């Protein structure tokens, strides 16, 4: 029983908090490693292009930011639908 108290620190809450802190620290290390391999920014190519000075005028006619938001919402919805379909097929709920 004495060894168990040393592991817990005498308190079950401290033991659980220690485990959660370790999991969060591990997740942070994994995410930091993944983000290290990502490119800095894909939009620097657009900023340095010859079209960059005309982009405000193009955005006036075709609002690019709204198109990107709507497109990302649509792709997310379609992706969720396909994942749901795969899960249902996997559990044999649909054919």
For the stretch 32-73, pLDDT in tens is 999 888 877 766 767 777 877 888 888 888 887 788 889 999
* Mean pLDDT across 18-25: 92
Q: How far apart are CA 76 and CA 71, in angstroms?
A: 9
Name the residue with higher pLDDT: 19 or 44.
Answer: 19
Q: Which residues contact 55 (CB under 8 A, 6 or more apart)?
A: 46
Q: Which of 52, 77, 82 is nearest to 64 (CA)?
A: 52
Q: What is the pTM of this model?
A: 0.41
**Domain range annotation of the chain:** 1-38, 44-95
Name the residue with higher pLDDT: 9 or 36.
Answer: 36
């Amino acid at each position: 029983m004495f060894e168990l108290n040393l592991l817990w620190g005498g308190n079950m809450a401290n033991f659980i908090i220690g485990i959660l802190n370790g999991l969060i620290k591990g997740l942070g290390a994994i995410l930091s490693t993944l983000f290290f391999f990502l490119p800095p920014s894909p939009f620097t190519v657009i900023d340095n292009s010859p079209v960059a000075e005309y982009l405000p005028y193009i955005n006036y006619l075709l609002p690019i930011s709204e198109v990107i938001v709507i497109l990302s919402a649509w792709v997310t919805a379609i992706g969720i639908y396909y994942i749901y379909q795969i899960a249902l097929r996997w559990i044999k709920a649909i054919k």
